[in-house]
Amino acid sequence: MPDVKRNALLPKGEGNGLVEIAGDLLKDMTRMRVVIGFVNCKRKAVERDGTEQATVEFHRVEVLLPGDLAEAERLLRRALESRSGQEQLPLELEDEISAAFKDLDLAQVEQEEREAKERGDEPPAEPGAPDGGDGGPSDGPPK
C-alpha cells in the first residue's frame, strides 16, 4: 500500500497560516493545535521494496478558530469512521481524539486572539467572506 512522506512541504507566504502562531508553537511545543489545509502530491518515490511514497505539498494551512473546534472534532471523528469502516472507533482512538481536543486550552487561545487584536494583527478571515481562504469562488484555484 502506498505511504505518505511525513515531512510535508508547507506553502510559502500567505498560504502558510502557521507563521501566525510560530511564536506560540515555540513557547508551548507540546500543546496541540487544530489546522485545516489543502494538499496535493508534490512528488512520488518508489522505495527499494517497491512501496510507493507520496510527498505531500500544502497549498494552504490555517489554524482553526476556537469557535470551530467542536465542529472540527466532529468532522475528524466522522472522517476516521469512514476511513476505518467502523461506526464506532476503537476505544484507544476515541481516547486519543478526546485527549487532543481536551488539551486545547480554549481560554488561552481566545486570550491570544485578544492580544493579537490589541497589537493590531489582522484577524483571520471568516469562511465564506470575500477572499476568506475557504476555497470559494473568490479564492481562485490553489497556487
The three cell numbers locating residue 18: 502557521
CA distance 16 to 31: 19
pLDDT of residue 61: 92
pLDDT of residue 45: 92
The pTM for the full model equals 0.60
**Per-residue model confidence as pLDDT tens for the chain (143 residues):** 778 876 677 888 888 999 989 998 999 898 888 999 999 998 899 999 999 999 888 889 999 988 888 889 888 888 888 888 887 788 888 888 887 777 666 666 667 777 777 877 654 444 443 444 444 444 444 44
Contacts 24+ apart (CB under 8 A), 102-105: 103/31, 103/32, 104/31, 104/32, 104/33, 104/34, 104/69, 105/31
Vertex 134 angle, CA 43 and 20, to 5°: 80
Element containing residue 9 per DSSP (H, E): strand 3-9
Q: Give the count of beta carbons closer than 10 Å to the beta carbon of residue 133.
A: 19
